[in-house]
Chain A
Amino acid sequence: MVSSVESGNVDTEAPWLEGLFTEHSERVYRAAYRVTGSAADAEDVLQTVFLRLLRQGYNAATVDDAANYLYRAGVNASLDMLRSRKAASQVPLEDAFPPGAEPSVPPVPVEQGQLRDKLRAAVARLHETAAAMFILRYYEGLENVEIARRFATTEGVVAVTLHRARARLQKDLAPWRTA
């Protein structure tokens, strides 16, 4: 990637953009890839995030915490992309599993890749903050204290959010098991 930016035209209208792109684009792409599972979608997310940044113009606050801003923008755009797909069910979990009506049939065996896709779809159905926190913790390996800092909240809130997100995802994945 670096060779393209170094040898390409230096953009005089938004010189700050090149630095941000060089430093953060790989991370944004990888995060989008993990969330969407699609190279094409990840590329589109990367383009959307930086196009939006370009349109907003230079903003000191954004650049000061560009890593956090771009990463979260990428995660949010990726989740929105997943949600817009028809495959993502709009049925709330509460309606899918009414109280006292836990599925009694044995889990359906699926390939690991299919379970992975079902996890992605289930994460997209979480509350947007819970989904973003779950991705940061379990896909990206950030500690709760760092997540709390990025969301300007407390470790306790992060821990509770992740606990509940896991509970919901476990329920969502319950009908399937790896073959």
Chain B
Amino acid sequence: MNDENELDMAVAAVKAQDPKPEQVAEAQQRVWAKLQAQTGAQPITACEGFQSQIPAFLSKDLSPAKTLLLEDHTKSCVACRKALWLARTPSVVQPPSIRQSPVWRQYLAAAAMFTVAISGGWYIYSELGFGGNPPRAVLASSEGRVYRLSGNKLVALVDGEELPQNDILRTGAGSRAMLRLGDGTLLEAGERSQLSLSGSREGTTVDLGSGNLLVQSNGRGGPFYVSSNDGRASVKGATSVFTRGTGGSRVAVLQGNVQWERNGVSSTLRPGEQAVSEALLDRIPVADQVAWSKNADQWRGLLSGLASVTIQGRPGFRSGTRLLDAVPDGAAVYITLPNLSGSLEQATAIIEDRVRKSPALQEWMAKDGRHLSELLEKARQVSSYLGEELVLAFLPDQGGILVAEVIKNGLREVLAQARIPASVGERRAAFGTPPLAAAAVLGGSHFATTPFGMRVQQAASQSTGIMIAADLQRLIAGTKRPEIMGLANLRYLIAGQRTDDTESQYSAILDFAGSRSGVASWLGAPSTIAGLAYVSPQAHVVAAAVSKRPADMIADLQTMMSKLPGAGLRLAELFGPQIVGSLGNEWTITLDGAVLPLPEWKVVVEVSQAAAMQSALEAVAAQSDQVHIDRQQVGPLLYYDVRLEGPGKPFHFTYLYTDGFLLAGANRAVIDRALLIRQSGMSLTSSSKFRALLPRSSRVNFSAMLYGTAGGLLGGGDNGIPATLVCAYGGDDRIEIASNTGVFDSVWRQLAELSFLRGTPGTGTSYR
């Protein structure tokens, strides 16, 4: 009996083992009773039940399932946690009796003890975080720009100043902050990070909104947690590092143990171990996760002494390409394709399946589709003689070749019959420019040892589908434009596809020889783009990016323009130094709301000096007859309504300043809705649909993104056309663009699901 049948039988056996209805009913009754107890109707019973299990838990006689439940319950139930502690702690030994002293001395001693108790209690209450208040947090040291967000106001925070409870600490690009808590805990925040502190009877919680955080807890005070939307970690007595971004969270332990809880499942992380909140987020070496810290060397030293540092990274993909020695040394373009015969066979099978289900397609196939079938069949016949990999290589001004391994005899005869010229050897076949093709069949080139060849080999080892590599330095050598735009050190382009168990991902990487410069340097390093918190999950189009500071970008533009003849324009003056100097690093533009009759757009731009920005804008309006700004206070919000007059109809929009951003939109309703989205936390980046589109990566953030749902734009609703997300990541010497939603995939599905292919007019498939 073959393997497939065994698996089917095993599955059938699982399905056949269904519980009886009365068994299900009894289980439901018991669970419902326990749930009622949890909601307060019968609390004693629930805790009595758990506490009765403590002896079995301590002696490790409790089942794994019940152990999980008990551990889960004691995290949130103080009474049961205390009962567990008492059960673990030996009895306190009674002190020996003491001699009676004179009465006045007893009163004095009692008064002294009372004073000490009150003072000590107050100290514990206010400094160490018991009783529902977090310990005092003071900015011990900082670099760069550190702010606190209090209500709606962004206020610079200086060393020695306290961070009030629930105020948000925010660090700027290239900045860092060290907070010291009253209990001695140290919190180190990296650049573009955001966190706040709060206290409750359960303990102190650091809410990490985004960025990097390193916590050194000395174990004093009450329970201490680091929390985010992705999970919660109990970090008391441990040194741990957290990274939180749009793509999820990563937590790693340097010293001590951390209890990490997510979706009701708890796990213990030990020194050197790391957990991620999303399956699509790769683990990385813990030493890399702390690289941003001021004391990175100290942490690396600590990690190097650990025996059990594990990196459960993603398994590798295919082992690389086997035809490098067939490629001419001077190749400037290298393309590798997967086995066409397999792909063609799948494509043929898919087409036949669709045709079977669609009367309209059957009719089309009978008339015009036969030619396509014949072509596919011919291509499949030739490709069936070739190996898994096809390689295309091009040399500037010399032509190109296609080369593949030959896996069975008879190819010469098939090619002769089809009149296709080729060089065919024992192991390889090559098509194209004859001298190059003949050399490819013989092999032995040194392409693999060239810098481009080595880069190709590295890229091929991480790719499982089509891969395109281009030596851009050679292809655009001699042209002036790259130098003017600061792209003179642009080196390679590598574009490809990789597939693992669950998805395909498409990426393109631009490599630079050295650090990015000119226009290429405008893309910032990956970071949380806070403006996306104002975008709803129903947005139609979103573009967002972290960039260089606008003042620096204008300086780059000025440098580029100085290389052009006759360029004397001073851009900094044109754009307004006050406006440019007030702008921050990130911006978000979106179409989010109604499309017709007027598109409801909004723009969210980081602004570090709102007052200076506003004063500059009003100065522009004062000097122009065509720009009018009216301000109106509505409750706590100060709106600025703008009217731009020109040759056509006046253009209206509204903006206000909030949380360190300028939020502008088509009208006040758009602004108000954006604020509600931000407050609710139910934004685009928190939606499961969006997160499912994120490319699998070791990075929790991206530098830029472009998101769109064409279906929403066309019909004002979801008509079945899936969303597309493309993310860009700016490295020091590279820019990577990645997407899970391949162009081919998207186009094929749209074609396949158009109503006429289904034979039923007006219907489409809803994917979400």
Contacts and interface: CB of A to CB of B under 8 A. Distances in A.
Interface of A: 1, 4-5, 8-9, 11, 13-14, 17, 21, 25-26, 29-30, 33-34, 37, 39-52, 54-55, 61, 73, 76-77, 80-81, 84-85, 94, 112-113, 115-116, 118-120, 127-130, 138-139, 145, 148-149, 151-154, 156-157, 160-161, 164-166, 169-171, 173-174, 176-178
A118 B24 contact: no
B141 interface: no
Given A157-B503, A178-B9, A77 B17 contact: no
B39 A17 contact: yes
A54 B38 contact: yes
A154 B724 CA distance: 12
Contact of A42 (B27, B38, B745): B27
A127 B279 contact: yes
B264 A148 contact: no
A80 B67 CA distance: 13
Contacts of B766: 149
A173 B264 CA distance: 31
B689 interface: yes
B332 to A, nearest CB: 33
Contact of A127 (B64, B264, B502, B749): B502
B14 A130 contact: no
Nearest to B686: A61
A52 B501 contact: no
Interface stretch (B68-76, B370-378, B448-456): B68-76
B7 interface: yes
Interface in B1-20: 1, 3-4, 6-7, 9-11, 13-15, 17-19
Interface string B651-677: 000000000000000000000000000
A148 B767 contact: yes
A18 B33 CA distance: 11
Nearest to B9: A178
Nearest to A160: B499
B41 interface: yes
B767 A52 contact: no
Given A29-B28, A128-B279, A129-B501, A40 B10 contact: no
B751 interface: no
A61 B499 CA distance: 31
CB-based closest 4 A-B pairs: A52-B264, A1-B28, A44-B65, A170-B3
Contacts of A161: 501-502
B32 interface: yes
Contact of B39 (A13, A33, A115, A173): A13
B264 A48 contact: yes
B98 to A, nearest CB: 48
A40 B63 contact: yes
A42 B14 contact: no
Contacts of B9: 112, 115, 178
A4 B32 contact: yes
Given A40-B63, A52-B263, A47 B31 contact: yes
B19 A29 contact: yes
A51 B7 contact: no
B39 A14 contact: yes
A55 B76 contact: yes
Given A40-B65, A149-B768, A178-B9, A30 B24 contact: yes
Contacts of B265: 76-77, 80
A130 B501 contact: yes
Interface of B: 1, 3-4, 6-7, 9-11, 13-15, 17-19, 23-25, 27-36, 38-42, 63-66, 68-69, 72, 76, 263-265, 279, 315, 499, 501-504, 682, 688-689, 692-693, 722, 745, 749, 765-768
Nearest to A172: B7
A4 B29 contact: yes
Contacts of B499: 160
A1 B68 CA distance: 25
A114 to B, nearest CB: 10
Contacts of A139: 11, 14-15
A63 B499 CA distance: 34
Given A1-B25, A77-B265, A152 B689 contact: yes
Given A17-B39, A112-B13, A170 B7 contact: yes
A157 B504 contact: yes
Contacts of B63: 40
B68 A84 contact: yes
A25 B689 CA distance: 25
Contact of B34 (A13, A33, A47): A47
A84 B364 CA distance: 55
Given A77-B265, A154-B767, A115 B10 contact: yes
A15 B68 CA distance: 26
B6 A178 contact: yes
A118 B6 CA distance: 11
Contacts of A76: 263, 265
Given A29-B27, A30-B19, A170-B7, 18 more contacts: A4-B32, A8-B32, A11-B41, A42-B19, A42-B27, A44-B68, A45-B65, A46-B31, A48-B69, A51-B264, A112-B10, A116-B13, A119-B10, A119-B14, A153-B692, A157-B503, A169-B7, A174-B3
Contacts of B28: 1, 4, 21, 25-26, 29, 46
Contacts of A173: 3, 6-7, 10
B416 to A, nearest CB: 37
Nearest to B22: A1
Nearest to A76: B263
A117 to B, nearest CB: 9
Nearest to B11: A138
A167 to B, nearest CB: 9
Given A9-B36, A174-B3, A39 B263 contact: no
A139 B503 CA distance: 22
Contacts of B279: 127-129
B36 A154 contact: no
B39 A81 contact: no
20 contacts: A11-B36, A17-B39, A39-B19, A40-B65, A42-B19, A48-B264, A55-B76, A76-B265, A81-B64, A81-B65, A84-B68, A116-B13, A153-B692, A154-B745, A154-B749, A161-B501, A161-B502, A170-B4, A173-B6, A178-B1
Contact of B14 (A34, A52, A94): A34
B155 to A, nearest CB: 32
A173 to B, nearest CB: 5
B6 A115 contact: yes
A50 B27 CA distance: 13
B6 A177 contact: yes
A163 to B, nearest CB: 10
Nearest to B34: A47
Contact of A25 (B31, B42, B765): B31
A177 B1 contact: yes
B35 A54 contact: yes
